[in-house]
Amino acid sequence: MVQITRVRLTSVNTPRHGSITCGHVLVELLTDADGLVGVGEMSDFQHLPRYHVDVADLEGTLNELLVGLEPLQITEVERRLEQSFPQAGYIYDKSRTIKCGVDIAMWDLAAKHLGVRVVDLLGGAVRDAVPIAYPIFRQQRDDDVARNLAMVARRVAEGFDHFRVYVGRRLDLDERFLRAVRDEHGDAITIKSLDFSNLLDPRAACRFVDRVADVGFDLVESPAPHHDVKGLAHARDRLPVPVSEHVYGFRWALDLVAADAVDVFNVSVIAIGGITPARRIFAIAEAAGKSCLVGTTQELSVGTAAAAHVAMAMPSVSLPSDPVGPLLYTRDVVREPVTYSGGKLRVPAGPGLGMVLDPARVAASAGPLSWAGTDAATVVDRAPTGPSNGTRPALPAGAAR
């Protein structure tokens, strides 16, 4: 009988190209079977609220909760995690990140124990790869328009043809970018969504959508403030394209269904707290007749691999998904990062997630989590961090953010 003997957490910090540095925590579930280790990732802690967990104390807590359990006791692990880190009903709640890292590691451990891939443990692949919509971050200054146009051109050359465009800070610049990118690329690209990220009230979001409707896009995401189910319903009734929203709790999913407020569930493995609870959200979506896509908080390769396995196994994931974290960071922590080709994310080969930590790469990024030098506005928009006077350095052409 194989048992978990130790939980090991390692905090790492990875810079984005020309942008902020994001903190993550790697999870290793060590066992009494030689070489059998489950690997997970608590991804991108650099979200509001602006505090970090005490990693050493958390490691002690998780050892208390998990040591002695067996690789296939995923349900029991979820029960213990939910008891200690309950859902808080907020998309960037730290508890969901903690639970997700452990849950991913449990699925990796269980699949390795059985000698299969996580996607096979989830029921088997229903598609051969995951179509990806590459993110284009918000326009906040005039030079962002040219910079983001260069980014689109770069990613098109690499095979991406779907893009998710963040909007809602500078609507004049957002419109300028949207019209310029359509003029430059025409129908060669698809704008999957305009992502308002809950920044505007629904009426303002709808007015902007009307203004740029001729540009052409498939979805509108988060066109109302957090938890504003009536606002989402208003936008859905008012807009000519489907509305999507992030689903970060069971109660929130049921509220969205009860109000028939959205057409699409954006299901992030991180935001819901792991693969195990994500499966319940997909079940709710299927029962309610909602389409799904797999969202992201911009994970490293371990977390991205988990998202890929989930997207491969869930029939309701019928729209291009969002995980591109490994393309945004300057370094990773695994021997062979996930791969993208033809605008699609490929499921790694090998048992479990197919990810193996690289000790040298982990050591190069290891360090305490910190908010030093990162302000709230930068975190919300994932913009480059500038000097204290509010200006910011220019990015090289085509640099990711």
C-alpha 387/C-alpha 375 separation (Å) is: 11
Full DSSP string of 75-104: HHHHHHHHHHS---S-TT-HHHHHHHHHHH
C-alpha 158/C-alpha 342 separation (Å) is: 7
* Host H or E run for residue 250: helix 250-258
Q: Annotated catalytic, 92?
A: yes
Cα 153 versus chain centre, distance: 23
Q: Crossing angle of helices 171-185/202-212, nearest 10°? A: 30
Task: Give residues with Cβ within 8 angstroms of 152, minimum separation 6.
Answer: 136, 163, 181, 184, 185, 189
Neighbours of 120 (CB within 10 A): 16
β-strand 133-136 against 130-131: which pairing, if any? unpaired
Q: Structure tokens of 197?
A: 């990220």
Q: Annotated catalytic, 340?
A: no
Strand positions, DSSP E, 92-153: 130-131, 133-136
Residue of 134, 166, 248, 329 with catalytic role? 166
C-alpha 318/C-alpha 322 separation (Å) is: 13
Task: Give residues with Cβ within 8 angstroms of 91, minimum separation 6.
Answer: 226, 246, 248, 271
DSSP structural state of residue 187: G
Residue of 51, 90, 92, 134 with catalytic role? 92
C-beta separation of 163 from 190 below 8 A? yes
Sign of CA dihedral 275, 279, 284, 285: positive
Task: Give residues with Cβ within 8 angstroms of 51, minimum separation 6.
Answer: 94, 371
Cis peptide bond N-terminal to 49, omega within 30? yes
Matching residue, tokens 């490994």: 326
- Name the residues annotated as catalytic: 92, 166
